[in-house]
Amino acid sequence: MKGATGVVTIIGGGLAGSEAAFYAAKNGLKTVVYEMKPEKFSPAHTLSTLGELVCSNSLKSEGRENASGLLKEEMRLLGSIILEAADATRVPAGNSLAVDRGAFSSFITGRLEEMGVEIIRQDVSELPGDRPLVIATGPLTTGGLAARLQALIGKKNLFFYDAVSPVVYGDSIDMDRAFFGSRYNKGGDDYINCPLNEDEYGVFVKELLGARAVLPHDFESTPLFEGCMPIEAMAGRGPKTLMFGPLRPVGLIDPRTGKRPFAVVQLRMENSAGTLYNMVGFQTKLAFSEQARVFRMIPALENAEFARYGKLHRNTYMDSPGVISRTLQLRKERGLFFAGQITGVEGYCESAVAGIVAGMNAVRFCRGREPVAPPPSTMTGALLEHISTSTGGAFQPMNANFGLLPQGEKKPGGRRKRRLDQADSALEAMKAWQNEILENLPLI
């Protein structure tokens, strides 16, 4: 392809950048990684090595009945350096994959150096002209590079804070205590409405105000803009504030009573399949365990299962559906790839698998091959499909979850059995896809 240099250049040596570098190097290409550490550290980083875990040392569950476990199995099929490092440096953590942070990061750095990856230790403020170029600068992209990205993709397409509401699985909502409808019947059955009576509302607000919040890092002291005010902060302004905000009942009639509820929590469809629903206006800084406890006090959500918890923190990410394709290429420049959290994926493994796919397609670009992506019937492909084509309203970062996968016919056996069936189908689809492209470019 025009513009290919035969060298894969990567900005950022986090999980995604490390995966992209590993893939390119093992496929025989000269690979260059620009990493600003130790010349410059973000407030979240302390190690000079690559692939540093800045929050938890856990990569979540390994059980394939969990979305994170399924994603790991797909990553193993794709040949992940992150999981190779995790297996070599793991510490006891039950059914979760947890690691020794320092040893994990050192393993990744050493492995890439052994493979001949050139690591240039400098901060990058200008985009190199080399193509293919993989941008994997993570959620704290700042300074000159952030300005260049804004100029490249458009200022309105790059966000610097993350106001995320929880997402629940549609099949865990109690529809005997909820109803479909829009305010004043405008828009059809666009929302699921979860009513509360006066006593239920009072208990909910009391528990909300007493719930434990996550203490922010110094670098996450995000201003509380009115448009992304945490729901607990709104409740703190007065006991009935929420009734004039996200829980306002005006324009809604409960068909079972024929009356307007005292308060209403609205759920908006998060994906076109209707398997995921966003809790409208529920961005929050509460600890995840507290979100589960308090939000399940909403009657229709008593047994809710959360695909994603809410949060409000510093994060740089793109409005990816209008900017990149599912192959992680910039739509207007095929030699420019993005990977990791800047694409709008959320989580360690989600970031890493985006790095694998970006690295794969950077290699294919060098070799004059068309880009590829796993099918949406895999967890990897479904995640990339979501971030590149989502039409569920304002785009927000997303982690791996079973609501992204094709649902198929419901069979007896409960939620766990359905999840395992979905996982089996996804892994079969990943293996079939690998066999299809193997002749064009080996994966390992």
Q: Please, what's the b/e burial string for 84-112 (b: 16 or more CB within 10 A of its CB; e: otherwise)? A: bbbeebbeeeeebbbbebeebbbbbbebb
Provide mean pLDDT across the span 167-181: 95
Asked if residue 163 has pLDDT above 70, the reply is no
Sign of CA dihedral 167, 172, 176, 181: positive
Pairing status of strand 58-61 against strand 167-169:
unpaired
- What pLDDT does residue 1 have? 40
Query: For the sheet containing 30-35, what is the strand order?
Result: 118-121, 30-35, 7-11, 133-135, 333-338, 329-330
CA distance 40 to 33: 15
Write out pLDDT tens, residues 43-84.
Answer: 667 788 999 987 677 898 899 999 999 999 999 999 999 999
Write out pLDDT tens, residues 32-51.
Answer: 999 998 887 766 677 889 99
pLDDT band at residue 410 using 50, 70 and 90 as cut-offs = confident
Reported for 40-43, long-range contacts at CB under 8 A and 24+ positions apart, including other chains, are: 40/123, 42/140, 42/142, 42/219, 43/140, 43/217, 43/218, 43/219
- What pLDDT does residue 215 have? 67
Fill in the DSSP letter of residue 161.
E
Asked if residue 355 has pLDDT above 50, the reply is yes
Residue 430 main-chain phi, psi, to 5 deg: -65, -45
Fill in the DSSP letter of residue 326.
T
Provide mean pLDDT across the span 112-117: 97
Distances in Å between the Cα of 235 and the Cα atoms of 203, 211, 269 are 12, 12, 25
Q: To the nearest whole percent, how much of the chain has pLDDT over 70? A: 90
- What pLDDT does residue 260 have? 96
Q: Is 241 helix (H, G, I), strand (E, B) or coil?
A: helix
- What pLDDT does residue 217 have? 58
Sort 19 into a burial class: Cβ within 10 Å, 0-12 / 13-18 / 19+: buried
pLDDT band at residue 162 using 50, 70 and 90 as cut-offs = low
Asked if residue 439 has pLDDT above 70, the reply is no
Token pair, residue 253, equals 């009639």
Reported for 139-143, long-range contacts at CB under 8 A and 24+ positions apart, including other chains, are: 139/314, 139/315, 139/316, 139/317, 139/341, 139/342, 140/42, 140/43, 140/44, 140/219, 140/314, 140/316, 141/316, 141/342, 142/42, 142/316
Q: Among 17-31, 214-228, 281-295, name the one with the lowest average pLDDT.
A: 214-228
Beta-carbon count within 10 A of 23 CB:
28
- What pLDDT does residue 40 have? 78
Write out pLDDT tens, residues 81-102.
Answer: 999 999 999 887 767 898 888 8
Torsion of CA 277, 283, 289, 292, to 10 degrees: -40
The answer to whether 85 and 51 are in contact (CB under 8 A) is yes
- What pLDDT does residue 102 have? 87
| 0.95 exceeded by pTM | no
- What pLDDT does residue 438 have? 66
Identity of the highest mean pLDDT range in 1-5, 342-346, 413-417: 342-346
pLDDT band at residue 5 using 50, 70 and 90 as cut-offs = low
- What pLDDT does residue 169 have? 94
Asked if residue 225 has pLDDT above 50, the reply is no
Nearest to 317 by CA among 213, 379, 390: 390
The answer to whether 180 and 193 are in contact (CB under 8 A) is yes
CA angle in degrees (0–180, nearest 5) for 278-282-285: 125
- What pLDDT does residue 43 have? 63
Write out pLDDT tens, residues 240-265.
Answer: 999 999 999 999 999 999 999 999 99
